[in-house]
Amino acid sequence: MPTGLPHRLLAPLLWLLVSLPTAQGATLPEPSGRVILTLSGDIAHANVGDEARFDRAMLEAMPSRVIETHTPWHRGKGRFEGPLVRALLATVGAAGQSVRVRALNDYEAEVPVADFHRHDVILAMSRDGRPLGIREFGPLFVLYPFDAHPELLNEVVRFRSVWHVERIIVP
């Protein structure tokens, strides 16, 4: 029998450690690695000035969700994994009815927060067990569960499915 914590218990434990300061009303821990996502605007919990900055390890420590789906941009079905966007917004204490999601190339889409509560939209970090690189729509990709909800395969949702995400702004 292996010693130590089973892998399935490690991520929730790390998430608890990351989110504990937030639950107490303090700031988030500062990232120790390269920042890959910044949240700004109307947020209650920050870790660098008035922004919430996350490195990959911080995002991986959040409870993740898997979406197995086809997308309009990939061949075949993929197994995407990442934190729920609604959990990320709750972690930073985001207020507001919408967010602006900005990509590395400055493309920006406004997304109603209701989308994140109506559907299990994730900030995909990996596909088929491999981290998303820039050529694979990474490092972060707003992904809707298209196969579970075929009605999401429309032009409006496709424009909200931002890839190369680097910033989320809460107006």
Per-residue pLDDT of 127-145, as tens digits, reads: 999 999 999 999 999 999 9
Distance, in Å, from the CA atom of 4 to the CA atom of 39, rounded to the nearest integer, reads 34
Q: Pairing between strand 130-131 and 126-127? A: antiparallel
- Asked if residues 33 and 60 have their Cβ atoms less than 8 Å apart, the reply is no
Distance, in Å, from the CA atom of 120 to the CA atom of 102, rounded to the nearest integer, reads 20
Distance, in Å, from the CA atom of 93 to the CA atom of 8, rounded to the nearest integer, reads 27
Give the H or E element holding residue 71: none
Mean pLDDT of 105-115: 98
Per-residue pLDDT of 10-25, as tens digits, reads: 444 444 444 444 444 4
Mean pLDDT of all residues belonging to the chain = 89
pLDDT of res. 27:
64
> Domains along the chain?
31-170 (3.90.420.10)
**Cα–Cα–Cα angle for 85, 111, 39, nearest 5°?**
55
pLDDT of res. 87:
96
Q: Pairing between strand 35-41 and 52-55? A: antiparallel
Q: pLDDT class for 63, splitting at 50, 70, 90?
A: confident
Mean pLDDT of 111-124: 98
